A and B are shown apart, each in its own frame.
Chain A
């Protein structure tokens, strides 16, 4: 009994609660990035290696629009729409001609696009990091920390975007087309659904979500040509752990992995805490390759 009491007494509950908040916040940003990725994979069987660059382009567009208009929320809407349009153009010009071919060709195509976008950003904006000022600068006291409200706002907006997207998939006509195409592409086409345009729309939606997450995350760090790489690697882990193409699973996996990392950071070094997500990935691939949360409804 004493040992149990000692164990619970040794747990820093303040830090545990702080890390719970941190894990949920980081998890929701990651969920927004990963949901675009998993959507594109689930419906089109395309592993989009340019997803991180769409995230980065969203942030850069935000910088430009914010400098012009001075309105963060307007910049968020415009960057989301423009990255969505960029995604549509990418799909029509590079991925549509590859439909039905070896999946490796789409991997190579998106990898090529990622290099182009990354080097374009470096050429266009240069190596100097850019700033996106946060629209809300106030904070609240969370035990011994001053916790910024903006991080909570990001969580709420991310949840709202993912929720709206889920409702869109479930109740709109285009959502029904998307679900039908996911289930059986040939049958959907036979029923008159314009499958090529469904693909384009899906890619545009996934890209728009990446753009929105880039814009939302921008104020927490710096805007530079490689900012997307740091998020997209983890997003790939989330997509695999959640079940490839499983939207609900990815969201749960994003929060699960972020919480695990945040809790691990209480007891081990950050470098070791980061390894946790890779351990989860390896265990998933070994024992449940279809994904840990595959039972959660798509």
Chain B
């Protein structure tokens, strides 16, 4: 039964006639190998001729951080797909190896170790929560793997805790504070700072307190509220007195809580409200409703087509991101800074890997050399704009957007060029 096909006329010539000789087999085989060598690079990569680069990424895909982690991965995947569609890096495709840190530092550290030892990644592009980034930095340093941070904002990552393997292509609080300081001084002289009481919130608080003072203002009080406090009212009730503005530093669901509860207690009517742009990410706006109207904030990226963001590159980026975001969020949000920075970080890594002719971990030193001082330009790879990755501390400087939230959207007030956000480096690299 199974051999019947061999009797068919069409099969006689190729198989059953006994005409497949050893000479023919060698000839056809050599022809096939030669043909494969001649096909263009993208096809070689697609057919698996090239070993993929393993890009490890530790992200919070569950737990409280998942609110941003889910969108962060969208940016990373967008970049990886785009790189692979355009021939990969050095003719090799990229393969993302994602791990879920569950929004916990101990889990993050363990999973990072797994990326190094079991998955054998070439580079790491990721990190969302600052306390997890800080916990994982020694892992990348010990393994001598380049770590491109994509979201973590804690100042010390590129200052007191810096190391030569870690880079940050996005902004940090001191640069934002330098950019925002002059406008805050115009808004009011006396400020009270309410902040998320953990690594990032404390570092950001210090940066703003310093800039407010430098611009002739005064910080009359500070209220640190633990992460994930569902009812902030007992702590916000204490905020009173004679001052002009309440500056808030929170992110994720805490950003919604502070806006809603400060409004409910009448603080938003009594004081000018300003703060870190993480409070007003697109994923938070629906839950804040009209209570956030008039809030002035700073962020590296907001999904608008105004000022320096009114470019075909940003329009394409927003359009592509929206198509993907709807798969992780049925409400179809616009891309936030987490999508943007993950997208751009991997694109920057591609440029550096090509420049360094990076083949694997053995070339880490060459890759560090290529990343140090890297300049990237506005385009489809970098829709947010130009960036400079400073050699002295591996910290990037970029345009900052100061905006007001109104009617569920953003109105750009000022775009501060990257040169006006510079702060002196405060990092000493060790081995």
Which of B183-191, B286-294, B310-318, B366-374 forms part of the interface with chain A?
A: B286-294
Question: Quick one: given A127-B68, A129-B253, A129-B283, are A265 and B229 in contact (CB under 8 Å)?
Answer: no
**Contacting A231 at CB < 8 Å: which of B225, B230, B264, B284?**
B230
B113 at the interface (CB under 8 A from A): no
A135 at the interface (CB under 8 A from B): no
Distance in Å: Cβ of B231 to nearest Cβ of chain A? 5
Question: Quick one: given A127-B71, A129-B284, A222-B284, are A230 and B237 in contact (CB under 8 Å)?
Answer: no
Distance in Å: Cβ of B185 to nearest Cβ of chain A? 26
A73 at the interface (CB under 8 A from B): no
Q: Is the CB of A222 within 8 A of B234?
A: no
Q: Is the CB of A131 within 8 A of B289?
A: yes
Report the separation of the CA atoms of residues A221 and B235 in the bound assembly, to the nearest whole angstrom.
15
Q: Which residue of B lies closest to A125 (CB)?
A: B330
A3 at the interface (CB under 8 A from B): no
A29 at the interface (CB under 8 A from B): yes
A225 at the interface (CB under 8 A from B): yes
Contacts of A147 in B (CB 8 A): 265
| Contacts of B164-200 to chain A: CB distance below 8 A | 197
Q: Which residue of A lies closest to B69 (CB)?
A: A127
| Contacts of A114-162 to chain B: CB distance below 8 A | 115, 118-119, 122, 124-131, 133, 139, 144-148, 150-151
Report the separation of the CA atoms of residues A122 and B261 in the bound assembly, to the nearest whole angstrom.
24
**Contacting B230 at CB < 8 Å: which of A119, A128, A129, A230?**
A230
A22 at the interface (CB under 8 A from B): yes
B257 at the interface (CB under 8 A from A): yes
B84 at the interface (CB under 8 A from A): no
Interface size class of A (residues with CB under 8 A): 35 or more
Distance in Å: Cβ of B428 to nearest Cβ of chain A? 31
B224 at the interface (CB under 8 A from A): yes
Distance in Å: Cβ of B342 to nearest Cβ of chain A? 14
| Contacts of A10-30 to chain B: CB distance below 8 A | 15, 18-19, 22-23, 25-26, 29
Report the separation of the CA atoms of residues A129 and B226 in the bound assembly, to the nearest whole angstrom.
19
Contacts of A269 in B (CB 8 A): 197, 223-224
Contacts of B234 in A (CB 8 A): 19, 22-23, 26, 261-262, 265, 270, 273
Between A118, A133, A219, A262, the greatest number of chain B beta carbons within 10 A of the residue's beta carbon is seen for A262
Report the separation of the CA atoms of residues A271 and B235 in the bound assembly, to the nearest whole angstrom.
10
Contacts of B260 in A (CB 8 A): 219-222
Q: Which residue of B lies closest to A221 (CB)?
A: B257
Report the separation of the CA atoms of residues A119 and B100 in the bound assembly, to the nearest whole angstrom.
13
Distance in Å: Cβ of A206 to nearest Cβ of chain B? 20
Report the separation of the CA atoms of residues A115 and B66 in the bound assembly, to the nearest whole angstrom.
13
**Contacting B233 at CB < 8 Å: which of A151, A229, A231, A273?**
A151
**Contacting A222 at CB < 8 Å: which of B62, B224, B257?**
B257
Q: Please provide the 9 A-B residue pairs with the shortest distance between their CB atoms, ordered closest to farther.
A: A126-B329, A146-B266, A222-B256, A129-B287, A222-B287, A230-B230, A262-B234, A127-B67, A22-B234
A-B contact pairs, 8 of them (CB 8 A): A130-B286, A145-B266, A146-B264, A221-B256, A226-B63, A227-B230, A270-B197, A270-B225
A residues adjacent to B (C-beta < 8 A)? 15, 18-19, 22-23, 25-26, 29, 115, 118-119, 122, 124-131, 133, 139, 144-148, 150-151, 217, 219-227, 229-231, 261-262, 265-266, 269-271, 273-274
